[in-house]
Amino acid sequence: MSLHLLLETIRKIWKKGSVIEKEECRHKREFQQADDQDIALIIEMANKFMGKIFLNIELESKPMEAAYIFQIGHVFIENIKRFTTMLVDNFKETLRNDQLYKKLVKPLENLQEKIEQDCTIHQKVKDIKEIHVQKIESMVHIFTEPDRQEQPGHKSVESSELIQENSAKDCTIKQKVGDIKEKHDNQIMKMTDLVIEHLKVGKENQKEEKEYTNAAATKENLPQHMSLLEFPCVNSQNHNIFLSVKEFKPDHLPSLYRHGELYDLIMLSASLTVKVLVTSTSNERDGDGLLPTITNLTDFEREIKAIRRGTGRVIHVQKNVDGENQSCHCHECKISSSPKPVHGIIFICTSKKIIYDDKEAENSKCILDYAFRNCATITLSGSGNNGFRVSKDCCVIMYQTCNHNLLQHLEAKINEYNNVYGKVHHTFKGSSEKHCLAIIVSNPHGFSKQVSVGEWVEKKKKCANTYYYTYNTLACEGSVGAHVFILGSSSSVLFNQHIHLGKENETELNHSS
């Protein structure tokens, strides 16, 4: 190959690298989908031609041209390495976010990780067994060591009494050895059982460490045979549309809305979403907005004799309440002989259909952090005096708490939510006619938090400058009171955003406040 042809080829590849670099800057998404055959071709040609440079060029005959090729070739190789690394990383990123990765690659990685864990654990069990065997052998040696050695030149004479005594010693030694073996075998079996149990439990069922202390932790145990997919309901054939908060990913949103801020907003909204339980019905209710009594209760709901359940959301916390002369009204303080002073108030918004007045508010409970089955939760109960505010469709319950860490945690989440919500609201403000996205985070049928994504169908006027929406977003019993996020139209004020009220009589569509 002539030096001229070699130089032209390198320039062509260099040019291709430059094009890739520009495409990376202008069209990142296209760059991520670059053909891996191009990468392989570039690497192959680079290695081939650079090998020609170093091996076949006669440096002494044409030193200037060879030096020039050597210089441009060296820079070219570095450029190729950089582009190749970037492309490969982007391919990995694309694949990692792909559904195919979740279905094929991820299970294989999990299997490989489990095999490695099994090998490590089995090796530990093997080491433990070897240690115990050595201990047993050592103790057997000690017990069976002769009490005396025969002296040279003396003949050992054993009487019948001595034989009987030695036989008794042998039996005692055998019994002790047997006891030692049994003890160590039991220890090995217990340790093996613990290892197997650890593998069965897995990371998902391990207890989470809670950020807040002195919390009223309860377990929301659903019957083991029951799942949301199996729960009897008029919408049961659509229950698979619900996505648990743990499973919800940006890919579950329409492609136009998969940017980080909207997804972050949904997850922050989920962190403030609570399950609401009510154990009484006020005599002041007119009956029009009364929800039917719930069935198929969880163990916890049955224990507290719940008759209604819904969803709410933490909208505000008030810290540093002057509680020196005021006892906290939380459940723990009510039953305690020495109640703690109140440290703050948690404001939770839900539907008036769930909690009608202060009497029902006094007999309500809110379950925080109910993200998955059997997770640790926080229960708020007993709103206390002046613990209820109501509007036409919505109500706000105020729960006192002596848990300062819980107040700090919720305040940080609210501030973070308001910050992200302001950015999303600014981006999509006034664009609801173009963007019809309607999202709900709720506790359908009392199950853990679920996300449902749909579209609003009609915007209806309620009064001057006030509107409500109908939408096809999935919601069930237990979802009433949940926050409904209407993209581009929700108020910028957290208190005035829409909540889910159930089905509209005229259209049979779900509707908001």
pLDDT tens digits along 258-286: 877 889 999 999 999 999 988 888 888 77
Higher pLDDT, 400 or 475: 475
Percentage of the chain with pLDDT > 90?
12
When pLDDT is averaged across residues 109-119 and rounded to a whole number, the result is 60
Instruction: Assess whether pLDDT exceeds 70 at residue 36.
Output: no
* Residue-level pLDDT at 350: 92
* Cβ neighbourhood burial of 29 (10 Å; 0-12, 13-18, 19+): exposed
User: Which band of pLDDT confidence, cut at 50, 70 and 90, is reported for residue 54?
Assistant: very low
Separation of alpha carbons 343 and 382, rounded Å: 15
Q: Say how far apart CA 30 and CA 246 lie, in whole Å.
A: 30
User: What tokens does 492 get?
Assistant: 């910028």
- Contact present, 452 and 440 (Cβ < 8 Å): yes
CA 53 to chain centre: 54
Q: What is the pLDDT of residue 184?
A: 61
Lowest mean pLDDT among 294-303, 405-414, 485-494: 485-494
Q: Which of 33-37, 170-174, 446-450 has the least mean pLDDT?
A: 33-37
Q: What is the mean pLDDT of the chain?
A: 69
Please tell me which residue, 283 or 496, carries the higher pLDDT value.
283
Averaging pLDDT over each range in 44-58, 388-402, 438-452, 487-501, which range is the top one?
438-452
SS (H, E, C) 394-419: EEEEEEEECCHHHHHHHHHHHHHHHH
pLDDT at 186: 65
pLDDT score recorded for residue 41: 58
SS3 category, 38 = helix
Stretch 122-141: mean pLDDT: 64
Asked whether residue 48 carries a pLDDT value surpassing 50, the answer given is yes
pLDDT surpassing 80 at residue 430: no
Q: Is residue 1 predicted with pLDDT exceeding 50?
A: no
Q: Which of residues 90 and 403 earns the better pLDDT score?
A: 403
What per-residue confidence (pLDDT) applies to 307? 81
Decide: 250 and 263 in contact? Cβ < 8 Å. Answer: yes
Q: Phi and psi of 496, rounded to 5°?
A: -100, 10
The pLDDT assigned to 475 comes to 93
Read off the pLDDT of each residue in 56-64 and give the average, rounded to a whole number: 45
3: Cβ–Cβ under 8 A, 6 or more apart, which residues?
Answer: 57, 62, 65, 66, 69
Tokens of 54: 């170093």
User: What is the pLDDT, as a whole number, of residue 310?
Assistant: 92
Contacting residues for 345 by C-beta, under 8 A, at least 6 apart: 317, 318, 321, 398, 399, 400, 401
Out of 184-188, 354-358, 361-365, 463-467, which region has the weakest mean confidence (pLDDT)? 184-188
Reply yes or no on whether the pLDDT at 412 is more than 80.
yes
* Between 202 and 106, residue with greater pLDDT: 106
The pLDDT value recorded for residue 513 is 75
Confidence of residue 435 (pLDDT cuts 50, 70, 90): confident
pLDDT band at 329 (very low <50, low <70, confident <90, very high): confident
pLDDT score recorded for residue 165: 64
Q: Is the pLDDT of residue 438 over 60?
A: yes
Mean pLDDT on 80-89 = 59
Predicted confidence at residue 35, as pLDDT, reads: 47
Question: Tell me, what's the pLDDT at 269?
Answer: 92
pLDDT, one tens digit per residue, over 178-210 is: 676 666 666 666 665 555 555 454 444 433 333
**Higher pLDDT among residues 74 and 428, named by residue:** 428
Contacts with 26 (C-beta within 8 Å, 6 or more apart), sequence order: none
Give the range among 241-255, 407-421, 433-447 with minimum mean pLDDT. Answer: 433-447
Q: Is the pLDDT of residue 23 over 50?
A: no
Q: What is the mean pLDDT of residues 39-46?
A: 56
Highest-scoring range by mean pLDDT, 213-217, 386-390, 461-465: 461-465
What pLDDT is stored for residue 463 in this prediction? Answer: 75
Question: Residue 242: which pLDDT band, with cuts at 50, 70 and 90?
Answer: very high
Res 162: pLDDT? 60
Predicted pLDDT at 313: 93
Residue 420 burial (C-beta neighbours within 10 Å; 0-12, 13-18, 19+): buried
Above 80 in pLDDT, residue 249? yes
pLDDT of residue 292: 65
Residue 480 has pLDDT above 90, yes or no: yes
